[in-house]
Structure 1
Amino acid sequence: MIFFAVADTFCKANNIDIAPETNPGGGPVDFRFSKGYTNRVLVEIKLSKGKVVQGYKTQIGIYQGASNTDSAIFLLINVGKMGQKLVEIQKHRDTQIEAGLAIPEIIVVDGRRKRSASVRETLFEVIEDDFNDDDDEE
């Protein structure tokens, strides 16, 4: 809902259509942006604790086919439990590129909770927060 609220404001200012949860036949994609009929971009948002590898390898491709567009963004929000998921996604992406296929852009956002800088005692704690994740394999 936060993504939609921010995106909707931007879209209004730039005359871009935003449609949340559209279902062109392959299931509901999180967002579809369009300017006219042929200029479409899909956005699929996943939290790192879920089945993100399957979402990238299969789900977004189905949505792209059903929406008849090559343009898509896979927005991955790291909330912990990332493990090797991003590495697997990047390997799949590289294979797709080598095959000459259109691939979704991958954007990763660090959504892990961090302690406030005002309560940290040392610089080491800041660095440790960036690398200390409770990663599990999918």
Structure 2
Amino acid sequence: MAEYTICPKLIEYSGINKKNIVDLLFAFIPENSKKICIDNDEKIIDVYKRIIEKDKDLSDWFRFLNMNKDSSFLKIPLKNKNSNLVLNLCSSSFSKNLISDSIGNYSDEFDFLQQEDIRFFDAEEAKIILNYGNSIFPPVDLSKFNPVTKENILDLVIEICNNFKDLIELNGLYKLLYEKNGKRVDEKKAQLLFYAVAFTYCSANDLKLCPEVNSGNGPVDFNISKGFTISVNVEIKFADNPKLKNGFWYQLRTYNQAERTNKSIYLVLNNTDKYDTEIKKIKKLITTQESKGMILPHFFEINYKEKPSASNQKE
């Protein structure tokens, strides 16, 4: 059995983004063996009711769960570790899984989340975990990791990127980079998928994984760090982004200066030959500049082109 603490902001967000009701909230119907954590006094239930009372779709969802209350909810005795009811409830639960619409809702509570080993999932991540299960992500061999230092942190982040690449190119996660109409998803959803993959590595190595860090020159997609001086920036772009070249030569280097690091990765998602020439030009210029001693971001390309099923592939 898996239990999750549901942030009220996620339910509020789902009232605006109705697709989440089916894709995410209905994953908690009793037949799915997933439960929502509530406190013994049901204070969190009162919070939910205030949000759903004027929304028919949310009210129908909650009414269905309430009809099967014993199967839908799991009562948790609170330990009073945090004045925030949601964090208190999650930290008191066994699984310590927290779902909200955005990690930004807990930007002031990062230390508490890490201290309590709370596993945070935003809406897009939660859809993957709740509908596909944790098995979609292969287990990580933690034994090969050495203590993270200024010298080896880039190698670890490259390992994360390699795993991300394998999951997309070899294990079918490229499907999550397409909408139902066949168009690619926006970059935000690709970033969320990367976050889901990187989370296990960062947790195992006591690293801080921060999305959209803004130090004054706009937000870099991810900053992975340990302490103040050990840090790597990761920027993700689709190959069809009109700012692809600018992002590498100017945008990411500006972020690096702001975060006081010379270690970074520029991760490019490509699904067509159309942009190969542009990418080759960037790679060639990188080789030339590095031969002159310039320290540049690590360029990383991933192919997310749709693949035929194994039965349809030619020998």
With the shorter chain as reference, the TM-score category is 0.7 to 0.9
Give 3-state SS (helix, strand or coil) of 1:106's partner: strand
Structure 2 portions without partners, runs of 5+:
1-191
Higher relative contact order (CA 8 A, sep 6+): 1
Structure 2 counterpart of 1:74, one-letter code: Y
CA–CA separation in structure 2 for the residues paired with 1:79 and 1:59: 23
Deviates more, 1:86-95 or 1:64-73: 86-95
Equivalent residues in 2 for 1:1-138, closer than 5 Å: 1-51=192-242, 52-80=244-272, 81-120=274-313, 122-123=314-315
In 2, are the aligned partners of 1:57 and 1:89 still within 8 Å (CA)?
no
CA–CA separation in structure 2 for the residues paired with 1:10 and 1:83: 31
In 2, are the aligned partners of 1:18 and 1:33 still within 8 Å (CA)?
yes
- Shift, 1:99, TM fit: 3.4
Taking structure 1 as the reference length, the TM-score comes to: 0.81
Q: Percent identity at matched positions?
A: 37
- Shift, 1:117, TM fit: 2.3
CA–CA separation in structure 1 for the residues paired with 2:296 and 2:198: 22
Deviates more, 1:80-89 or 1:5-14: 80-89
- Give the corresponding residue for 2:98: none
Structure 1 counterpart of 2:301, one-letter code: V
Displaced runs of 4 or more, over 4 A: none
Higher strand share: 1
- Shift, 1:26, TM fit: 1.6
Q: CA RMSD in A?
A: 1.4
Larger radius of gyration: 2
Structure 2 counterpart of 1:55, one-letter code: G
Count of residue pairs the alignment pairs up? 122
CA–CA separation in structure 1 for the residues paired with 2:209 and 2:286: 26
Taking structure 2 as the reference length, the TM-score comes to: 0.37
